[in-house]
Amino acid sequence: MNEMKKNNLRVCLHNSNDKLDKNTDIYLVNSFGVTKAFYKVCKTVFLGGSLIQHGGQNPLEAAIHGCKIINGPNVWNFKEIFDLLYTYKISKKVKNSREITNEIDKTFLLKNNSQKVIFNIKRIGDKILNLTTKEINLLINKNEI
């Protein structure tokens, strides 16, 4: 957060007495259980815990709501999910705050693509469901279930 302030960005913390106004550059949600409400209105999110050796946050809720996801390299705890999101260009990996800024700048220059993100998530889900159904049917046919 100090680095954001050094770059003259006005940061407002969700669980503080900070005043959110039109001059706020970044609204930092650092509370558990409230992100769903923000994913519905945000189109670009950075998932915390992923720039440090902590492990990133679960990206599924953000993706389901059509958000473009920016994350650091430390997402081993959701590796398979992030690999899939990278394939469909729903998530972008960054290494530092400068790259986060670049990705956010790109996002603002692009037309809102949240419907495309939602469509891709649905397509991925349908594909996984179809493969799972086929595997279950094969096991039933072999009398293994």
Which two tokens mark 33? 């259980």
Q: What is the pTM of this model?
A: 0.66
Find, among 68, 27, 72, the residue nearest to 44 by Cα: 68
pLDDT tens profile 39-74:
888 888 998 889 988 888 889 888 888 888 999 999
pLDDT tens profile 85-107:
999 889 999 998 889 888 887 77
Domains in the chain and their CATH numbers? 32-141 (3.40.50.2000)
